[in-house]
Amino acid sequence: MAHSIHYGSLLVATAVAALLAASEVDGIGLNLHHRSSPVVRRWAEARGHAPGTWWPEAAADGTPEYYSALFRNDRALFARRGLAASNGQGELAFSGGNATFQLEGYLHYAEVAVGTPNMTFLVALDTGSDLFWVPCDCEHCGNATAQGDQKYSPSRSSTSKTVTCEHALCDRPKACATRNSSCPYNVRYASANSSSSGVLVEDVLHLSREKQHGGGGEAVQAPVVFGCGREQQKGAFRDGDGVMGLGMGKVSVPTLLASSFSMCFSDGGVGRINFGDAVDPGQAQTPFILTNPHSTYKIATRGMNVENLDVPLEFQAVLDSGTSFTYLADPVYTAFAYELMSQINDTRANLSASIPFEFCYGLSPNQTEIYIPDVSFWTKGGAKFPVTRPFFVVADRHGKGAVGYCLAILKSETDINIFGQNFMTGLKIVFDRERFVLGWSKFDCYRDMEMEDVGSAAPAPATAPRPATA
């Protein structure tokens, strides 16, 4: 499919392509960390967040409180993107009437370093936006503070370059005093009081080569254009240092680096994003459904398959790594849920009032295994997308033994279907934006690459049921 590229972005992309080719390896990217992981908690503590304000203390891994917190985080994300229904008063209504703890942050974060000498930031990853920005020469940066209360400043980086108003990536030339002025930016998000403004700059982003089978690990520097954020309204950014947009826009980091990127998530709360990964012949794939220049990553399905039984089920779904669970609108939700549940012999149970899921099942005192039906979707083009995490195991309130499990799919309150992280865990997902296709293959982040904090990370959301002792 033909597409255009702007001259300014071509210069940056060509430089990075040459750099990647010179390295003769794939896997140039960043490690990802779940919101509840030790890495993110350490950053929160360094910013003075009291225990329980960043992540609820009661939400031990796998408990009802843990999944309830993830659900509230999804709802807050939908509010930022204008996807959530309200309670009629402009505020979100959470399950059980519990609105005392409302997460407003993102689900995944990455430690990024920019400039020379480099400055390190914890940035949220967002497939629903394009711009990458960090606090910089702050006038009003709210609560977004870099580690050690440091800020990026173009004047202190020897590799920084001005992005002028005549640059191809400048979208606001009419706001410039002259053609040689610094290009201003202003990005607003759907939630109230959430915005960032400043000027665009070009500098190096410090990446790492993934460590596979004990090798690699060296640093790589890539030039990118990003926002020098001088003013932020706290809103959704009160907990982090900035946002790295992974959307399809011309200024997003994947567009500037290599057009395509891949993501994988482990069961340990950590993952990896690699820039330059394209869909290879051994991977299944399906085309993106493109509706406008700023399209989301949307695919089409032709049916589902449960235990080798094909069921017609046509719908479109957005791939969104920022949500913990999968959201399907009726009639797709009902058809999927009841087809899957017809394979379950355990007894439905109300495991906790704080869990908003409709289909939950209890475990008997002597039960040591959980039967998981094989389920997948037939996508446009005929490839089969496997659902690797359709359920999650629920632990007792201390996070110890398993008491039951739930279908990790919720009914969408809008007509938008979303495949969340639980549908991506266990796979390597490739967003090939040059060919406009989504690719996937089964992949274990633990086994296939070495990542920091793997041993101590918290379980990822929607952990698949496995043999468990009740």
Query: Active-site residue numbers?
Result: 126, 320
What's at 378, amino acid-wise? W
Backbone angles phi, psi at 442, to 5 degrees: -65, 140
54 closest CA partner among 71, 69, 33: 69
